[in-house]
Amino acid sequence: MKYTLNVLKRIIFGRIRILLLSIFIIILVSVLFWPLKNYEFINLDDDLYITKNENVMYGLSLNGFYWAYSISNKTAYWHPLTWISHMLDCELYGLDAGMHHLTNVFFHIVNSLLLFLVLQRMTGALWRSAFVAALFAVHPINVDSVAWIAERKNLLSTLFWLLTMGAYGWYSARPGIVRYMLVVAAFMMGLLAKPMLVTLPFVLFLFDWWPLRRATFLVPMDDESVPLHRKFTQSSCLRLILEKVPLLFLSFGSIYISSLSLSKHGGFIITDSLVPMKLRIANALVSYVKYIEKLFWPHDLAVFYQYPKVMLPLWQVYGAALFLFGVSVLVVVSLKKKPYFTVGWCWFLGTLVPVSGLIQGGLWPSMADRWAYVPFIGLFIMIAWGGHAVVLRYRHRRIVLAVSIVLILSSLMMVTRHQVGYWKNTVTLFEHALEVTEDNYVAHYNLGLALAKEGRLDEAINQYKRAIGIHHNYPEAHSNFGIALQKNGMIIDAIKELKLSLQINSENAETHNNLAIALADLGNIDEAITHYNEALRINPDYADAHYNMGNMFAKQDKKEAAMSHFMKTIQIDSFYFSAHNNLGAIFLKELKLDKAIYHFQEALRIKPDYAGARKNLQIALGYEKKVNSKIAIINRKLESNKGTPAFYNRLGDLHEKKGDHGSAVEYYQKVLDINPDFIPVLEKLVLVCADENDYENAAIYLNRIIALMPDNPAGYYNMACLSAKQGQVEESIIWLQKAVGKGFDDWELLEKDEDLKNLRDLDYLTHQ
């Protein structure tokens, strides 16, 4: 009985200690990262992932899910779960950057707790596991992963990394199919968040040896300083390998899909001709040592470290190789007595391989603090267990441990809190990056973007110049330099920079769009149209290019072309409020009041403080009120007098302006009942029916016009347009031939008429 009470007492006190340590970790992370609630999005990747990503920023949707799982979404490598996570944030908080930041903080808290609980369950070492989790929670190297909203993929994938490890520990205690399927499920979810988990099967094999001690056939251990609090099932080498085979297949599948998605970007993967393999290996070796340096002395941390342009000094490369080799030899020597050194070191070396730069894509840095988020756990294990083994030799080891832990965590927390402050906004972030790095053209460029956004154009121009001075062939810098010059009224210089950008990269839709804007400002309309078309060739769903092209055509009073582009803009992005307003303005000019009012209301629904749309809506409602008043007057006259064709015609016109097409057709038909051959009304009925896609009745009325005016080419041409809109290509061609036979010769209209787009797309129209 006494033994049972003692066991129960140990269990209760053990769980209380776990709870208190968990609360301590939560408080640590919350205190350090709470200022993020007042911080902004930054312009490096946050725009790509959220603020300018129309598939994400409007929240959860079926189209969004489809886009997230597509391997050709042309945004980043394949990580659908991360996209859905950002969509959920936008669904819940909109574009409130502080709440997006706090979601990242939440994930970091959960990851820290999971790391503590998983290690404690596997090793039985409560305080060492807590120390590893505390180091993970507060180390400054992890600030990037938490403070950078776009790095949600890092936090989310690590969450499932740790869940996979926890599930594997549970499975190892009592192997079974259900428990193993939980391991596979957690691993799959992690790969859907980020392919960083491809090395996890190898880490699990390390843990089979220590701390799970399932693979005692490798090297017998006499490490009795860490008693296991539970037994894990020992297995043969073959079984342990077979357990990892399904996970390895998933890893290879993830690598293949990620490579495929990167290849869809066109030039996203950096070839050996641009960055030689010799330089990649050299940089990887030196970076490993720099990571270890930042572990013990976390100074000069930056969001981006410039990749070396030339070969690194040989003393650095050979020195780094010698250091890594020496440490590897030492951990192998201590394999039997200190297995945690080997496991921790192999964890660090192995999990950094995917981001070592041997394979590169996109804007690749020499190293990145965020990439150390998982690999540093291996080094933290080495420190916690190795430090414990050293302190055991001292008489007052508890005091030494307590003082050491307090000093280490306090020092790291001060540095971390200071580092968090740099993430307040893009300006503070990249100003700091320039303070601690050299020749960092990426920092200059992104600082320029942030300054331009704040309206500090002269400062932005200076930063763009410095970025270009370091990296002459930097197309984005040339492009945004041109935009800044354009805003400063230096249009000719702006065009020069934009054209330089296109010489370096002619497949940038945004640059073509910006160049078209500048050319249109100079009055070079034809050249502007060429670049707008190029932008839309590269990206047919480029809403801004359609919108700008619509504005250009609207200024030229080419209403149909302008409406077509504004409608396309809204189809791509239904929240494009200015496109709704401009489209409404065109309908208002044509006195199509119902459509004008609808689009003005849509613009105000999206942006309630949109003064221009509110003013336009008031004008449209005023017109509608006048139309209703006129309808009432005419109806009163009709009540006292017999209806005349003029009254019915006027009523039809007024109802058409209101968008009441049914009533308009009814009154127009009354005119025809009195005068069946009244061509102006027949023409109105053709337009009303075509506008409602009632092509059958439109054709009937148009045939009556042709019968009344057989020598007028306009009737035949309009019939050709009507047939083309219905996809009746051959019939349309016949009607066009009849129109030409009757004297039609407006070839410019033939080449630009939107109704004949089907024919032009199929190369039926040629102009001799």
Residue 633 lies in a domain: no
- What's residue 138's pLDDT? 97
Q: How far apart are CA 528 and CA 522, in angstroms?
A: 10
Question: Is 624 inside any structural domain?
Answer: no
- Do 492 and 355 share a structural domain? no
Residue 742 lies in a domain: yes
Cβ atoms of residues 585 and 553 within 8 Å: no
**Per-residue confidence at 134, pLDDT binned at 50, 70, 90?**
very high
| In the predicted structure, residue 640 carries a pLDDT above the cut 90 | no
pLDDT tens for residues 216-273? 665 555 544 444 445 677 778 888 999 999 999 999 998 888 888 776 654 466 777 6
Q: Within this chain, do residues 702 and 721 fall inside the same structural domain, yes or no?
A: no
Mean pLDDT, the chain, rounded, equals 86
Pairwise CA distance, residues 417 & 31, whole Å: 9
Q: Would you put residue 160 in left (φ > 0), alpha (ψ -120 to 50) or beta? A: alpha
Q: Are residues 208 and 347 in the same domain?
A: yes
Q: Identify the pLDDT of residue 767.
A: 43
pLDDT at 658: 64
Concatenated DSSP letters of 362-425: SS--S--GGGGTTHHHHHHHHHHHHHHHHHTTSTTHHHHHHHHHHHHHHHHHHHHHHHHHGGGS
Q: How many domains does the chain have?
A: 4
Q: Which domain holds residue 678?
A: 642-708
On whether residue 2 sits in a domain, the answer given is: no
Rounded to whole angstroms, the Cα distance separating 175 from 213 reads 14
414 and 463 co-located in one domain: no
740: phi then psi, degrees, rounded to nearest 5: -65, -40
User: Does a structural domain hold residue 462?
Assistant: yes
- Which pLDDT belongs to residue 219? 54
Residue pair 553/565 in contact by the 8 Å Cβ criterion: yes
Looking at residue 41, what is its pLDDT? 95
What average pLDDT does the segment 541-545 reach? 90
Residue that terminates a domain, selected from 380, 402, 423 = 423
Domain membership of residue 488 (yes or no) is yes
State whether 412 and 443 are in the same domain. no
Token representation of residue 387: 């430090």
Backbone φ and ψ of 239, nearest 5°: -65, -45
Asked whether residue 12 is assigned to any structural domain, the reply reads no
Contact call for residues 428 and 421 (beta carbons, < 8 A) = yes
Last-in-domain residue among 372, 402, 423:
423
Q: Are residues 419 and 435 in the same domain?
A: no
Which domain-ending residue is among 672, 690, 708?
A: 708
Residue 764 has pLDDT above 80, yes or no: no
pLDDT digits (tens, 9 = 90+) for 260-300: 877 665 446 677 767 889 999 999 999 999 999 999 999 99
For residues 233 and 336, state if they share a domain: yes
- Distance from C-alpha of 135 to C-alpha of 439, rounded to nearest angstrom: 32
Higher pLDDT among residues 677 and 305, named by residue: 305
**Amino acid at residue number 660:** D
Q: Which of 85-94, 210-219, 524-533 has the lowest mean pLDDT?
A: 210-219
The verdict on 408 and 508 lying in the same domain is no
Q: Among 126-135, 618-627, 685-694, which is the least confidently predicted range?
A: 685-694
Question: 353 pLDDT exceeds 90?
Answer: yes
Check whether 714 has a pLDDT greater than 60.
yes
Same structural domain, 577 and 667:
no
Q: What is the DSSP string of 199-264?
A: GHHHHHHHHHHTTS---TTSS-----SS--SS------HHHHHHHHHHHHHHHHHHHHHHHHHHHT
- Residue 10 within a domain: no
Q: What's the confidence (pLDDT) of residue 643?
A: 61
Give me the amino acid identity at 600. F
Confidence (pLDDT) at 218: 56
pLDDT at 618: 87
- Which among 226, 268, 243 is positioned nearest to 76, based on CA atoms? 268
CA dist 141 and 420 (Å) reads: 11
Place of tokens 């294990």: 381
pLDDT of amino acid 560: 81
Are residues 490 and 387 both part of a single domain? no
**Cα–Cα distance for residue pair 280/288, rounded to 1 Å:** 12
What mean pLDDT comes out for the span 109-129?
95
* pTM summary value: 0.81
Tell me the CATH number at 519: 1.25.40.10
Output the pLDDT for position 557.
83
Residue 1 binned pLDDT confidence (cut-offs 50, 70, 90): low
Does 404 share its domain with 512? no
Residues 414 and 455 in one domain: no
